[in-house]
Chains A and B, each alone.
Chain A
Amino acid sequence: MTAWEKLRPYGMVAPSIIIFSMFFIYPIFYMIYLSFYDWNFVSPDKTFVGLQNFKDLLTDEDFRQVLSNTTLYTLMTVALTTGLSLFLALWLNRKGVFHAFVQGAIFSPHIISLVSISLLWSWLMDPEYGLLNWVIGLFGFEKMQWLSHPETSLVSLVIVAVWKGIGYNTLVFIAGLQSIPADIYEAAALDQSKPWTTFRRIILPMLSPTIFFLVIINMIGSFQVFETIAIMTQGGPVNSTNTLVYYIYENGFRFFKIGYASAAGVILLAIVGLLTIVYFRLLSSRVHYR
């Protein structure tokens, strides 16, 4: 083998490796590097502070609140999105104009930009002039504060996330359901299986790869929530909707505590990385049936 033959494959993949390194690998390592420094983004001097940024983070009340907000937001969003879309998919998994319409309708938010969605829901949830409170009023209930009250603000953001995510999730579930052959249901019917038993013992286990995929994808997505918070609440009121990515953005680009923000970024990277590893580990232990 000549030197050229040995080098050629590396030459071929070089362009993508270079771009990948510049925009993914280098920033990650630079972030890890920055997390050990105190830096204000403009000054030429960076002060090495060791693990001080991490120590500060872990003792910071706000950061703890941010972590708990993010976890709570993720758990609620994932549970509601996955649960509701499975329910919807079971209902929509049949032919008919009406079902096709509903499927299309719930999918449409998926293709709308999150900025538009955030603006739309800010208006819908306006305590004074919003549509939601008007509807609630029709039924004689008291007006809700939605995004303006610490007790309801996080849940309000969850509602927006579920509304946006449910169409895509339902679509994936329907695809999963349609990959189950019709004769499996028929065999179950001949085995005197009641609908709930068929669902629990046959359909749910066969859907488990789909459920698993969606839970992980939704979790990773929810952990990185940013747009809705930046536009709708800016982390407020009283830090009740401040989440990890928004916190990083705030510290880095508004307070210019780059080292501190980088340390938070490292923690986010660790969490998302861990989720991804868990996903691939569990995925490889599952066998798809054909």
Chain B
Amino acid sequence: MAKIELINICKKYKDETVIDDLNLTIKDGSFTVLVGPSGCGKSTTLRMIAGLETATGGEIRIGGKRVNDTAPGHRDVAMVFQNYALYPTMTVRGNIEFGLKNRGVAKAEREKLIAEIAEIVGLDQLLDRKPQQLSGGQRQRVALARAMVKKPKVFILDEPLSNLDAKLRNQMRTELIQLHRRLGTTFVYVTHDQVEAMSMGDEIVVMHQGVIQQADTPMKLYHEPANLFTAQFIGTPAMNVLDTRDAAGLSLESESTVAKLGFRPEQAVFDWGGMHEGYRLTGEVMTRESLGAENIYQIKAPGGVFFVKTFLEPLREEQTVRVVVPYEQLYYFGPDGKRLYGVRVQERQLAAAGGV
């Protein structure tokens, strides 16, 4: 078990800077997910922790020990690759055993460990098969077993579920969460899928263009996004964002310029009885998606297109709708995309809007 510290990390390829001055502490025993769009530097960061890429600058510490110059095999980390990277000419047993052999673990001990791990991941019947005789899910388990058997301080997982079908992915997601609880080891997980990040991580690091946008718990990330990028990256559908210039009937009072305002689709309420107080929008329903328990509406208003999500309500058939977002559910962002706090809606406007 170990804490991972990345201090002033830089990564450059010739002239291109991928990561510049990155600072991050991954807590001991946490399930930390690095998430972001492709090319945001999340995989590079992960590979630097594993030692598969060298950092151009800065310091990497695992368990308090500087590992910049330590070979990947000696960092006490194990990795699960996106394409599993199993040794195709070895059996399942051979794949799991290879790392142990290289460490000089005695044969009797190796056999005991393999039997143990194989049972945990449900491979005991398949130990003598070759990887090409296994299904995607089974290969995934071999990759996990190969990593687990080394009893590493840190588990590194690089988009491990992206090659599985939707059903299996959900199942493996649950299994990984349980595995993390059982082992209590630090997990560092990379994905581009925010749903995966939200459902698995207890600490999420949102990255964009090589810069950490926000590192927080899933709930904090969702409810208290630090900037426009995080706000729009987390959540399905994403947060609705409107330009304040297009937000008619809303007068804001703030020390700095408010460029955008946003609200979560599920915070908007259909305003039929005029009972709710808040920011009002009128628009045409463009699409309706009914997913059973929840309905998603895409609405075109003069200020822009936005989404509304309702739970356990019958699907609305009207063409023109009015929705209201309670003032306290509005998020404000400056011209640089940073979240603004302490923005107030002017009383006069509030009263006027409420009187409609």
Residue numbers of A with Cβ under 8 A of B are: 181, 183-184, 186-194, 197, 201-202, 205-206, 208, 287, 289-290
Q: Does B63 sit within 8 A of A, measured CB to CB?
A: no
Asked if A192 contacts B74 (CB within 8 A), the reply is yes
The distance in angstroms between the C-alpha atoms of A246 and B131, with both chains bound, is 49
Q: Does B232 sit within 8 A of A, measured CB to CB?
A: no
Residue numbers of B with Cβ under 8 A of A are: 50-52, 71-74, 77-79, 81-83, 85-90, 98-99, 102-103, 130-132, 146, 150
Q: Looking at the assembled complex, report how far the CB atom of A163 sits from the nearest CB atom of chain B, in whole angstroms.
A: 32
Q: What would 19 more interface pairs be, CB under 8 Å, given A189-B73, A202-B87?
A: A183-B83, A183-B85, A184-B85, A186-B52, A186-B72, A187-B87, A189-B51, A189-B71, A190-B77, A191-B98, A191-B99, A191-B102, A192-B71, A192-B99, A192-B102, A193-B73, A201-B98, A206-B89, A289-B130
A sample of 15 cross-chain residue pairs with beta-carbon separation below 8 angstroms, ordered by A number, consists of: A181-B83, A181-B85, A183-B81, A183-B82, A184-B85, A186-B72, A186-B79, A189-B72, A190-B73, A190-B78, A191-B73, A191-B99, A192-B103, A193-B73, A194-B102
Chain A contacts for B86, CB-based, 8 A: 187
Q: Looking at the assembled complex, report how far the CB atom of B356 sits from the nearest CB atom of chain A, in whole angstroms.
A: 60
Closest to A287 in B: B132
Q: Looking at the assembled complex, report how far the CB atom of B93 sits from the nearest CB atom of chain A, in whole angstroms.
A: 14
Asked if B102 contacts A197 (CB within 8 A), the reply is yes
Chain A contacts for B79, CB-based, 8 A: 186-187, 190
Chain B contacts for A190, CB-based, 8 A: 50-52, 72-73, 77-79, 99
Q: Looking at the assembled complex, report how far the CB atom of A262 sits from the nearest CB atom of chain B, in whole angstroms.
A: 45
Asked if B131 contacts A289 (CB within 8 A), the reply is yes
Set A186, A187, A208, A289: member contacting B132, Cβ < 8 A: A289
Chain A contacts for B99, CB-based, 8 A: 190-193
Closest to B150 in A: A191
Asked if B78 contacts A202 (CB within 8 A), the reply is no
The distance in angstroms between the C-alpha atoms of A205 and B90, with both chains bound, is 9
The distance in angstroms between the C-alpha atoms of A206 and B102, with both chains bound, is 19
Chain B contacts for A188, CB-based, 8 A: 87, 98
Chain B contacts for A191, CB-based, 8 A: 73, 98-99, 102, 146, 150
Asked if A186 contacts B98 (CB within 8 A), the reply is no
The distance in angstroms between the C-alpha atoms of A181 and B88, with both chains bound, is 11
Q: Looking at the assembled complex, report how far the CB atom of A180 sits from the nearest CB atom of chain B, in whole angstroms.
A: 9
Asked if B102 contacts A189 (CB within 8 A), the reply is no
Closest to A192 in B: B73
Closest to A194 in B: B102
A287 with B130, Cβ < 8 A, contacts A183-B85, A184-B85, A205-B89 known:
yes
Q: Which of B50, B98, B103: most chain A CB closer than 10 A?
A: B98
The distance in angstroms between the C-alpha atoms of A208 and B88, with both chains bound, is 12
Chain B contacts for A181, CB-based, 8 A: 83, 85
Q: Looking at the assembled complex, report how far the CB atom of A283 sits from the nearest CB atom of chain B, in whole angstroms.
A: 16
Q: Looking at the assembled complex, report how far the CB atom of A198 sits from the nearest CB atom of chain B, in whole angstroms.
A: 10
